[in-house]
A and B are shown apart, each in its own frame.
Chain A
Amino acid sequence: MIPFAGVAALLIVGCGGPFPQSALDPSSDFAWRLHDLFRGIFFWAVVVFLIVEGALLVAVLRFRDRGDGRAPAAGHGNTVLEIAWTLAPALVLVLVAIPTIKTIWDVDRAPSGEALVVEVIGHQWWWEFRYPDLGVVTANELHLPVGETVDVRLTSADVIHSFWFPRIGGKRDVLPGHETHLWFKVDSAGVHLGQCAEFCGLSHALMKMQLVAQEPSEFDAWVEGQLAEAAAPESGPAAAGGELFVTAGCTACHRVAGTPAQGAIGPDLTHVGSRRRIAAGVLDNTRENMERWLRDPQAVKPGALMAVPELDEGQIRSLAEYLAGLK
């Protein structure tokens, strides 16, 4: 039974932390429901574990052959015992099944009242977020108001992905050809980390996202800012970058509101400068990282569909300058 002592030790010391992406630290009504259910099941699992492993341990210790010539007990079975250990687990399962079924129905029910609609579109390997009622389109950074019910509608532009913010709740697959749904209410303001949970190809591990939960007033301000057109740089390297953005072909895929750039294949970049991270939550949004990304997107994210023409260092710098200015 040494392994189990080791396991117990692991439980205590091996954890490390902190765990900013942990499902054990719920931050929405949805996540709390699942967490409460999990804790209930975990309790029963520990009880059963102790009873069964305990019985096994006693059998091992008590009945080992000590070479004293003791004859093994006779006996082929006992129907009463069989019935007992069929019913006992069945009872425990009922105790697990009742809260399970209750939770299944609780979390899979459309809310009755008003809800903020968000459309999530999965792409290889980034996330598109649309707020149809607000007219906002953004990517990889989902802003939500605290305390408001959110009605998330998910579809995929290519293959199957899965939408998962562990602190906000369970996964929901993002399917091509089907719309799936998710409803929740975020508890408290803060930044939550999420990532794709269904294997979706080469850079599945790098398909991340952030959820910025804001007080409603801050959220409204954010929406206001998103609705504004991109700030057009007047002069300097940023202006050159802006020109380059058009001439280098970026506009074929990307949209920057208020400019000729109206591409719809890649992420909307109108306010890319205001995002916390770039490349679908993989790199902090710094000048160096933006340049690194523009230099060779596939080095950051293998298989990324973004094609960048040959650019010299000066051009990369001015393009990064321009993008950083899109707040």
Chain B
Amino acid sequence: MAVEGAIATDSVRHTAAVHQGTYAGGLGSWLTTVDHKRIGVMYGLSAFFFFLVGGLEALLIRLQLGSPESTLIDADLYNQLFTMHGTTMVFLAIMPLGAAFFNFIVPLQIGARDVAFPRLNAFSFWVFFFGAVFLNSSFIFGGAPDAGWFGYANLTSAQYSPGIRIDYWVIGLVMLGVSSIAAALNFIVTILNLRCPGMSMMRLPLFSWMTLVTAFLLVIAFPAITVGLVLLMFDRMFGTVFFNPAAGGDVLLWQHLFWIFGHPEVYILLLPALGVVSEIIPVFSRKPLFGYPFVVYSGVLIAFLGFGVWAHHMFSVGLGPIANTVFSAATMLIAIPTGVKIFNWIATMWGGSLRFRTPMLFAVGFIAMFIVGGLSGIMHASAASDLQQTDTYFVVAHIHYVLFGGVMFALFGGIYYWIPKITGRLMHEGLGKMHFWVMAVAFNLTFFPQHLLGLHGMPRRTFTYEAGLGFEAMNMISTVGSLLLGGSILIFLWNLVRSLRRGAEAGSNPWQGATLEWSTECPPPHYNFLTLPRVHSRYPLWEDGGVTSTAPTDEHRLPEPHMPSPSYYPVVLALGILVLGVGGLSRALPVVFLGVAVVLFGIYGWAFEPLERQTHPRRGVGRRSRQEKA
């Protein structure tokens, strides 16, 4: 296998000086950037910041629960903390961390110079960023949302939740929804349309595949919660009666709308992680992914089935035995494609030559812990069994085995794997391994006892518990574990910061990766590929002649391809949406009108902004910018 990562025909190697421009420039250049790599970095940094915020919230929760009848945190603050912990981790940490990888990696992986709509991409980021800041500003202005990340009606009504806390949540989620849908539309088109020549769907790297599936889930699932949020907003702001039982409103409608979104949302969080693991394991096993088509199809099947199982979040509602049977059976079906993935990963490792560098440790750790989360999932899938487990710490343990032991481990693996691509430097192996082992131990220490707590009768979302119920010891262990978990994150942060200055130079393909992103320099020049590649196999860099250039001869090369110009309009439009949100929150009509004006200005400026024209007659330079005019 030829593993040296260079485009065979592209012998012109750039010196570092040529593409220092990838991240150069002041604040203005970041505000106006439309480069998918810079946007990816901004997504990653913001997501990690909010991951730390959500983590701090979790630590406060654990400190409060470390002992029975603790008075460290009162009920009011506790309810804000668990609501914001859930909301933050789902919408402001894991989803945008996935988006960071989509942005940075997918265009490189499919051999494109950027996403299909670079300005739309910048817009998605800015709306996300403003939405996240908006949501968290509630801590300063009158208190954070406190009705749970699921916001069940009618607790969220103006009657039972007066004030603006829930308004923050509603408006914030609508903004995040706009951002997610815009980003997902962009990635669907990018992955379907901008694959380089030769990259058929069955040669598409698994991470890009799972990104595509995730994007489809997003555009289909988000409208349901958007409608739910709009109904709730109308109830709160205009006095409609959608969720008012006295006027015939049905509180269960919210649950249906929320979970029709909410269950696919779980796969929106999970599938990118499955994609990351499917990239890491073959590379560090030095063996192609076992059963590639089955791994792809099982991902698609998981997503498809994910739409038919929402009511398994509602088994205790009393929907009746028919509904419970159907949703139990449908939910169990999901275990089959999930199992297929796990078996294929193990089969990939089987007979391989496994190198346990840090990314591989995290990928294997992911499999080990995801299995536990999957098995407890089967227990919840059984509607009758779930009657005891739902709304207890057993479910808290389950979701953390899936979303932390699973998704976050995989994403940390992805960070270790791709950080050299992003910064050009490797993170330290010893620190990385220490991070992994401390985190693995701490994670299990934190969350395994929660299974037992749930079975022994501890409900979730409770700010206190009584002494004498047998909950003390396990809660203490869990709290100690969570502090250790926080410590493991500090190891990671130190490793990351250290690597920026002192990390080993990555070269272009430090892990002998097989996919196209490793055919460019680290970090890539802002145009990614000097000439667009053409691939000839699923693992192009592992085969001689796996990648060729689409440019016929050197004569047709440009010194540097022209890329779309930076634009102020995405951030202006996003700002307009933020102003609209503030207007809705404060019920101040002038602010709303200002928001509308800024939005209209942004849209019209955007639509009529002169796009960069092709300045060089000979090659397809700047063609992205033509296509982008949407």
Query: Taking beta carbons and an 8 Å cutoff, which residues of A are in contact with B?
Result: 1-4, 6-7, 10-11, 14-24, 31, 33-35, 37-38, 41-42, 44-45, 48-49, 52-53, 55-56, 59-60, 63-65, 70-78, 81-82, 85-86, 89-90, 93, 96-97, 100-101, 103-105, 107-109, 124, 158-160, 162, 164, 166-167, 169-173, 175-178, 180-181, 193, 195-206, 302-303
B147: chain A residues within 8 A (beta carbon): 199, 201
Residue on A nearest B337 in the bound complex, by CB: A86
Closest Cβ–Cβ distance, residue B443 to chain A (whole Å): 7
Bound together, the chains give a CA A159 to CA B255 distance in angstroms of: 13
Complexed CA–CA distance, A230 and B455 (Å): 40
Q: Which residues of A contact B444 (CB under 8 A)?
A: 3-4, 6-7
Contact assessment for B75 and A21 in the assembled complex, using a CB-CB cutoff below 8 Å: no
Contacts of B386 in A (CB 8 A): 170
Residues of A with C-beta under 8 A to B356: 64
- A96→B294 contact, CB < 8 A: no
List the B side residues contacting A100 at CB < 8 Å.
328, 382-385
The minimal Cβ–Cβ distance linking A302 to chain B, given in whole angstroms, is: 4
B287 to chain A, nearest CB (A): 4
Within 199-256 of B, Cβ neighbours of A (below 8 Å) are at: 245-246, 248-252
Tell me the nearest residue of chain A to B440, going by C-beta. Answer: A3
Q: Shortest distance in angstroms between A155's beta carbon and chain B's nearest beta carbon?
A: 10
Let me know if A108 and B321 touch, CB within 8 A: yes
Q: How far is the CA of A200 from the CA of B186 in the complex (A)?
A: 39
Q: Which residues of B contact A302 (CB under 8 A)?
A: 74-76
Q: Does B142 reach chain A (CB closer than 8 Å)?
A: no
B382 A18 Cβ-Cβ under 8 A: no
Neighbouring A residues of B382 by C-beta, 8 Å: 37, 41, 96-97, 100, 103
Q: Is B324 within 8 A of A162, CB to CB?
A: no
Evaluate contact between A93 and B335: CB separation under 8 angstroms: yes
Asked whether any CB of chain A lies closer than 8 Å to the CB of B138, the reply is no
Q: Are B463 and A63 interface neighbours, CB within 8 A?
A: no
Which of B11-19, B101-109, B364-372 lies at the interface? B364-372
> How many interface contacts (CB-CB < 8 Å) are there between A and B?
311
Residue of B286, B320, B392, B445 touching A6 (CB-CB under 8 A): B445
A-B contact pairs, 5 of them (CB 8 A): A23-B392, A31-B388, A56-B346, A193-B469, A204-B461
In the complex the two chains form, is A24's CB within 8 Å of B332's CB?
no
Closest Cβ of chain A: how far from B234's Cβ, in Å? 18
Given contacts A41-B379, A53-B371, contact A93 B294 (CB under 8 A): no
**A199 touching B441 in the complex, CB below 8 Å, given contacts A7-B448, A16-B474, A170-B387:** no
Question: Given A37-B384, A172-B316, is A22 in contact with B349 using a C-beta cutoff of 8 Å?
Answer: no
Provide the bound-state CA to CA distance between A96 and B285, in Å. 35
CB distance from A300 to the nearest CB of B (A): 11
B336 and A15: CB pair below 8 A? no
Interface stretch of the complex, out of B51-59, B152-160, B259-267, B572-580: B152-160
For residues 339 through 393 of chain B, which have their beta carbon under 8 Å from a beta carbon of chain A? 339-340, 342-344, 346-347, 349-356, 364, 367-369, 371-372, 375-376, 378-379, 382-392
A82 to B457, CA, bound (A): 40
Query: B414-454, CB under 8 A of A: which get 1 and which 0?
Result: 00000000000000000000000100110111001100100
Question: Is there an interface contact between B368 and A56, defined as CB atoms closer than 8 Å?
Answer: yes
Residue B472, interface by CB 8 Å: yes
Contact indicator B474/A201 (Cβ below 8 Å): no
Among B293, B353, B444, the most chain A Cβ lie within 10 Å of the Cβ of B353
Name the contact of A65 in the complex, choosing from B328, B340, B353, B392 (C-beta under 8 A): B353
Asked whether, in the complex, the Cβ of B349 is within 8 Å of the Cβ of A59, the reply is yes
Chain A residue contacts of B437, Cβ below 8 A: 2
A22 CA to B459 CA in the complex, in Å?
A: 11
B329 at the interface (CB under 8 A from A): yes
Interfacial chain B residues near A3, Cβ < 8 Å: 368-369, 440-441, 443-444
Would B155 and A159 count as touching, CB distance under 8 A?
yes
A121 shortest CB reach to chain B, Å: 13
Q: Which residues of B contact A105 (CB under 8 A)?
A: 321, 325
Give the distance to chain B from A120, nearest Cβ to Cβ, in Å. 13
Q: A76-B290, A81-B347 are in contact. List 7 more A-B contacts (CB 8 A).
A: A10-B477, A35-B388, A49-B371, A49-B372, A167-B457, A171-B316, A171-B387
Interface positions of B from 279 to 297, Cβ below 8 Å from A: 285-294
A160 CB → nearest B CB, Å: 6
Contact B353 A33 (CB under 8 A): no
User: Contact at A89–B385, with CB atoms within 8 Å?
Assistant: no
Q: How far is the CB of A171 from chain B (nearest CB, A)?
A: 4
How far is B346's CA from A41's CA once the two chains are assembled, in angstroms? 24
The answer to whether B470 and A17 have CB atoms under 8 Å apart is yes
Q: How many residues of B contact A (CB 8 A)?
A: 104
Q: Point out the residue from B317, B459, B473 that lies within 8 Å of A197, measured CB to CB.
A: B459
| Chain B nearest CB, measured from A322 CB (Å) | 28
Assess whether B390 is in contact with A38, with CB atoms less than 8 Å apart: no
C-alpha gap A86/B344 in the complex (Å): 11
Q: Which residues of A contact B465 (CB under 8 A)?
A: 205
Is the CB of B623 closer than 8 A to any CB of chain A?
A: no
Contacting residues, chain A, for B124 (C-beta < 8 A): none
Residue of B329, B462, B469 near A19 (CB, 8 A) is B469
**Complex Cα–Cα for A100 and B252 (A):** 24
A204 contacts B350, C-beta separation under 8 Å = no
Q: How far is the CA of A4 from the CA of B369 in the complex (A)?
A: 10
The residue from B152, B285, B343 contacting A199, defined by CB atoms under 8 A apart: B152
Whether B316 and A173, one on each chain, are in contact in the complex, defined by CB atoms closer than 8 angstroms, is yes
Is B385 a contact of A37 with CB atoms below 8 Å? Answer: yes
**B223 → chain A, closest Cβ, in Å?**
24
Interface check B464, CB cutoff 8 A: yes
The CA-CA distance from A200 to B251 in the complex, in Å, is 13
Interface pair B245/A76, CB less than 8 Å apart: no
Task: Please name all residues of chain A whose beta carbon is closer than 8 Å to the beta carbon of B536 when the two chains form the complex.
Answer: none
Q: Are A206 and B379 in contact (CB under 8 A)?
A: no
Q: Which B residues touch A180, using CB under 8 A?
A: 317-318
Of chain A, the residue at the smallest CB distance from B355 is A65
Query: Are B353 and A89 touching (Cβ within 8 A)?
Result: no
List the 5 closest pairs (A to B, CB-CB), nearest first: A170-B387, A177-B245, A73-B351, A205-B462, A21-B457
Contact A14 B473 (CB under 8 A): yes
Using A38-B388, A72-B351, A171-B391 as known contacts, say yes or no to A16 and B457 having CB atoms under 8 A apart.
no
Contacts of B468 in A (CB 8 A): 20
Bound complex: CA A198 to CA B462 (Å): 10
Known: A19-B470, A77-B294. A175 touches B287 (CB 8 A): no
Task: Compute how far the CA of A16 lies from the CA of B385 in the bound complex, rounded to whole angstroms.
Answer: 24
On chain B, the residues within 8 Å of A76 by CB distance are 288-292
Roughly how many angstroms separate A140 CA and B590 CA in the complex, as a whole number?
50
Give the distance in Å from the alpha carbon of A73 to the alpha carbon of B351 in the complex: 5
Q: A24-B455, A76-B292, A85-B339 are in contact. Are A63 and B384 (CB under 8 A)?
A: no
A176 and B251 within 8 A (CB): yes
Q: Is there contact, CB below 8 Å, between B328 and A42?
A: no
**Considering the chains assembled together, what is the distance between the CA atoms of A7 and B477 in angstroms?**
11
Do A56 and B76 have beta carbons less than 8 Å apart? no
Report the Cα distance A83→B261, complex, angstroms.
Answer: 32
The residue in chain A whose Cβ has the minimal distance to the Cβ of B458 is A21
Min CB distance A210 to B, Å, is: 12
Contacts of B343 in A (CB 8 A): 52, 81, 85
- Per-residue contact bits, chain B 154-194, to A (CB 8 Å; 1 contact, 0 not): 11000011000000000000000000000000000000000
- Cα–Cα distance between A169 and B317 once the two chains are bound (Å): 14
- A173–B79 alpha-carbon span in the complex (Å): 20
Residue from B148, B336, B388 in contact with A93 in the complex, judged by beta carbons closer than 8 Å: B336
Query: Which single residue of chain B is at the shortest CB-CB distance from A164?
Result: B459
Question: At the interface, yes or no: B456 with Cβ under 8 Å from chain A?
Answer: yes
Checking B351, B376, B474 against A63 with a beta-carbon cut-off of 8 angstroms, the contacting residue is B351
A64 to B441, CA, bound (A): 22
Contact assessment for B388 and A63 in the assembled complex, using a CB-CB cutoff below 8 Å: no
Instruction: From known contacts A22-B470, A89-B336, infer whether A97 and B328 are also in contact, taking CB-CB under 8 Å.
Output: yes
